[in-house]
Every structure is written in structure tokens, then in C-alpha cells.
Amino acid sequence: MTDGWNWRQPDGTATPGNPPPPTPSTVGTPAVPGSAATPGSSPWWSDALHDPWRNPATPAAVVVHAAPASGAGAEPEPVTDPATAGRRGLAPVFLVSLITALLAGALGGSLGYAFAVRGGAGGTTTLGSTAAEPPVTARRPPDSLAGVAERLLPSVVTVRVSGNGGIGLGSGFVVSQDGYVITNDHVVGAGADTATVVFNDGSTAPAEVVGKDPEADIAVIKVSRNGLKPVEFGDSDAVAVGDPVLAFGTPLSLANTVTAGIVSALDRTFRQGEAGGQVRYYAAIQTDAAVNRGNSGGPLVDGGGRVIGVNSVIQTPAADEETAGNVGLAFAIPINQAKRLAQEIIDTGKARRTVIGATVGGTRSGGSGGVRISAVEPTGPAAAAGLRAGDVVLKIDGKPLEDPSDLIALVRKYAPGSVVNVEYRRGPERQAASVTLAADVK
């Protein structure tokens, strides 16, 4: 009795009573479809003949289906290595990151350099802010103090005079294109015939003394140079207390110095000098602009840049001139007086001196003010106006008198031929007279 299975012996022979297995039609490696089989090759697996459990009816040939020949169908879908695909996906990300880092570094370096150059430091803190446009004061219009200074400085000079074993130093200002310069008499000094002028640009030129008025403290010098820039004259009679002013000069040997202040008083009368020496009389413009030794002879100008005075004297509590310094009290000769005297010096070589034709001998007794007339010239202006010896002059053109030098200084301020109103007292009566001043016959 059999179970339907044919078994082979381990050596490959048939079991008794069972028919031998059918002989395969092919031998060798299974044929690939579309190709010829190779003769002599075994259709069995290498251990198939020794497998006691193999079903003898199972085909002994192993068939491997090969891929279709080229052109027989669609190309097979390529298979990508997952690891390789992952590595390729990170490359663009890395490249973008690198480029971004490089750009950020370049931008940061540029900004750092710009801040360092503009700020002068390596920090990132910016101090202050920049306005959209400069403020009005920084634009320096011509009528500003800075504009006035810029316009006037080319006309201001330093005056150096050698003599008395040393060098005198003062200031001056150009009044004509052909080289005339106004300065103080005390800058030029007694007996000086020549001087050296230093201009705003540092150039120098020799100058000759044209003439001077020692009592009025005015002198004129001239340099041999044309095309100079003269100052513009103002009207010192139109000046008011409180007007802004600028003082120019070379204080304490510091050339091209400008200081500012206001007019603090007008017609401040006084005299300088002692008996036996040169005496000078001033009816001055008082200012609080800083003026020191070396400013003498320089211009005092108004807010429009017009010269209204010649800086000449400072008031100081110092015991001597060498230690004198500014204390806010400086005095300038009114330009109307200085210009008149300078013109006379240029035209004739000397200046006329204005007189009233009377001699003053002292103040009114009792200290109540006024100046007593001690003598009157018979043909002089005072006599022509009816004044007599013994009269007490109280005011000239409304300006009160306290000292004899007040009368002399105020009279010298006016030009010969000027008419002034004189208030005086004769006995108990107060009277007034119009006096036409004259030039000294000397």
C-alpha cells in the first residue's frame, strides 16, 4: 500500500515498489527565458539529492525569472540609497547657512568700521544728535557778532614801536586804501618817527608817523601799501547806553583778539597825566568789553560793524601799569572826534585844538557842582557869549560839570565852530548862553 508519494533512497535510487522519477528534460542551470540552456548543468540545488524530506514529485528545476530584455518594457524604477539621499538633502542647507554667515560678517565689519571712523572709538555708543540743519547762530549772518568780527579783522593791525630801550606794543585800524592807520598817541610814544605794522594775515610793513595830537591821544601812521580794506565809520553821537559793542586789538600781545560788551556810559570825562608831563583829556565812551594793555589804538565797533571809538584807557585798582588788568571799565575816544583829528593830521600834519576862551580856576565853593571861571579872553568865544570871570559853569549841552578837567574834555570833543549851550550861575541867578567854540591859535 502506498501514500501516493514516491521516495528515493539517500543515494538517489528509487525505493522498491516505486517507479523512478521522471527524467528532467533539461540539465544544468535553469534557462533564462529567451536563452538556451547550458548542457550538463544540474537542475538540482546543491543539497537537494541529500534531502530525505523532499517530495520526489516536486520539480527539481529552479527557475529564475530574469528582467525583461532592453526595450522589452519600461525601465525599472531606480532605487536610491536612503543614507545617500539624506546626505544630499543637507548640502543646500549648509551652503545657504555659510553664505548668510559670510554676508552678516561683512555687514557687521562695515558698520563697525563706520562707527569707529565717525566716532573715533571702537564702541557702539553714539553721543548727542545731529540737527537737520545748523541753528541760526551757527550760520553767522553778516550782522551777527561773528559776522562783524570776520568783516573787521582784516582792517585791524598790531603796531610795534622801538624806543626807550624796549618795544612798545599797541593796536590800530586802517582808515584808507592807501595805508593810513589811526592809533593812540601813547602807542607811538614821544619822539618816535617810525613803527612796524603787523596785519591780520601775519604780514608786516614799516610805517612812518604822519602826525599826532598828544592831548587828545590820537596819532596817524602810514604804510606804503595800496589796496587795503578800510573800516566803516559810525556816528558816536548816535550811540546809546546799552548798545552792544566789540573791541578789537592785541591785548597782552595776543593778536587778532575780539571781545564783546555794551556801552555802559557816555561822555565819561577825566584826564590822564601829572603836572610837568603830558596831560591827556578824554570825554570817552565807557564799555565793559574786556580791554587790556595792547588794546590801545584798536577800534570799538557797534553791532553793525561800524567804528564808534578808539580804545584808549582802562580803569584798574592796580598800583602800576604793568600789573593793570581789565575790571570791566574801559574807555574809548569817540570816533567823531578821532576821525576829525586824523583828517586834520593827514591834511595839514597837525590837529587843531578846540577852546572856549576861558580859564577855569576851581570848583564851586561848597561842593555843589559846577566849574568857576577865573579869567576870560577878551576876544574869545566865552566873552563873545557874555560870560565873565567869577561865573560858575554848571552844564555844557546838558552834561553836568564837577571838575575843571570836565569842561576841558567836553570842549575838546567838539570841532571848532560848534555851538554849545552853556548853563551857568552868576550870583543867585541861573542863566544860559550859546557859545561858538573856536580853534586855538597855537
As annotated, the active-site residues are: 186, 217, 296
Cα-based distances in Å from 105 to 145, 318, 375 = 51, 69, 99
Residue 192: phi and psi, rounded to 5, are: -80, 135
Beta bridge partners of 310: 299, 333
Residue 354 neighbours by CB distance under 10 Å: 23
**Contacting residues for 423 by C-beta, under 8 A, at least 6 apart:** 393, 394, 395, 396, 430, 431, 432
CA 322/CA 103 separation, integer angstroms: 70
CA 120/CA 98 separation, integer angstroms: 32
Q: DSSP class of residue 392?
A: E
CA 71/CA 73 separation, integer angstroms: 6
> Could you tell me where the DSSP H helices lie in 120-184?
136-139, 145-152
Q: Which residue bears the cell 610814544?
A: 189
**Looking at this protein, which amino acid is placed at residue 207?**
A
